[in-house]
Amino acid sequence: RAKEQGQSRFKVFNKRMREEALRLLTIETDLRRAVERQEMRLHYQPVVALEDGGLHGVEALLRWTRTEGGDISPAEFVPVAEDTGLITSIGAFALEEVCLQLSRWNEAGLPQPGVVHVNISGRQFMQPGLPYAVEMLLDRTGTDPRALRFEVTESVLMRHGSQAITVMAQLRDLGIRLCLDDFGTGYSSLGYLKRLPVDSIKIDRSFVAGLEHDRDGQAIVRSIVSLGLHLGLEIVAEGVETPTQAEILASLGCRYAQGFLYAPPVSADDLAAMLGAAPFPSTGGGVFAGGSV
């Protein structure tokens, strides 16, 4: 009986693995076509100053609508793109599109949306000649490097160590700022942050989600914020969904936030409309003043 159960479990496992492999293969095939047909777009999510609700910047996020099968999240296709190497052309597209969008806003006489965060995957980051290619792109599109901030995750550093730090330094020499994304989810020690040429960190959504109900969650965020402040880093909390989370973050000394509480990622046109509108909710004397922590 035990053996029978074991076998049927094995079959289920096998079937799931086959389905998963097939799914990834389909994404890969579609992804290749998507790159050729330029089916990708970028959306932009506001990064807001907690104190006054002012727009501090935006994060560019890839959006892909498959001709068959509808929208598919970058959380799903970026890892496939990374594995297959397609990420280098997708990443190049995203970066170029951000630069072109900045000049479109500029030409339309719109205010710049502050610093634009661009996610750079590990493979793209470690691609030989990336800093040079970026320099050429900035030149060609007339982009001010100070308008850009590249987001990388700790995994790049863990995998590529000092080589990654060299690339970071080269990018920073170009005038591009750097942010450590999903901070706290890697397994690296907090101490090494000091050695990195980053000027900001993003507290991962999973820690923000734990802020309201669990004391450990608050303790973790408190220590990330205090470490970051000591090192003179700008700290952005991601995935802020409730006023209470915003209040707690502000009380812990975090100054910037991003999340559905303020706005989801939106198209470039929708963002442009937002730029002229009223500030976002704030913790300091604004809409949410008086909210208890």
Binding site for ligand C2E (CB under 6 A): 45, 61-62, 73-75, 78, 91, 94, 119-121, 151, 181-182, 205, 238-241, 258-260, 265
CB of 243 to ligand C2E, least distance (A): 13
Closer to Mg ion by CB, 207 or 280: give it: 207
CB of 4 to ligand C2E, least distance (A): 42
CB of 104 to ligand C2E, least distance (A): 18
Window 225-254: contact mask with Mg ion (x via CB under 5 A): -------------x----------------
The one of ligand C2E, Mg ion, none whose footprint includes residue 62, by CB under 5 to 8 A per kind, is ligand C2E
When asked if residue 151 is in the footprint of Mg ion (CB under 5 A), the reply is yes
Nearest CA-CA partner of 127 in 96, 93, 89: 89
* Beta-bridge mates of residue 149: 117, 177
The one of Mg ion, ligand C2E, none whose footprint includes residue 145, by CB under 5 to 8 A per kind, is none
When asked if residue 154 is in the footprint of Mg ion (CB under 5 A), the reply is no
Closer to Mg ion by CB, 97 or 181: give it: 181
The one of Mg ion, ligand C2E, none whose footprint includes residue 212, by CB under 5 to 8 A per kind, is none
The one of ligand C2E, Mg ion, none whose footprint includes residue 132, by CB under 5 to 8 A per kind, is none
Number of residues forming the site for Mg ion (CB under 5 A): 7
Asked whether the beta carbons of 246 and 50 are under 8 A apart, the reply is: yes
DSSP output for the chain? -HHHHHHHHHHHHHHHHHHHHHHHHHHHHHHHHHHHHT-EEEEEEEEEETTT--EEEEEEEEEEEETTTEEE-HHHHHHHHHHHTTHHHHHHHHHHHHHHHHHHHHHTTPPP-SEEEEE--HHHHTSTTHHHHHHHHHHHHT--GGGEEEEEEHHHHHHHHHHHHHHHHHHHHTT-EEEEEEETSSSS-GGGGGGS--SEEEE-HHHHHTTTT-HHHHHHHHHHHHHHHHTT-EEEE----SHHHHHHHHHHT--EE-STTT---B-HHHHHHHHTSPPPP-SSSSTTTT---
CB of 39 to Mg ion, least distance (A): 21
Closer to ligand C2E by CB, 36 or 107: give it: 36
The one of Mg ion, ligand C2E, none whose footprint includes residue 200, by CB under 5 to 8 A per kind, is none
Closer to Mg ion by CB, 27 or 118: give it: 118
Contacts with Mg ion, residue ranges (CB under 5 A): 119, 151, 181-182, 204-205, 238
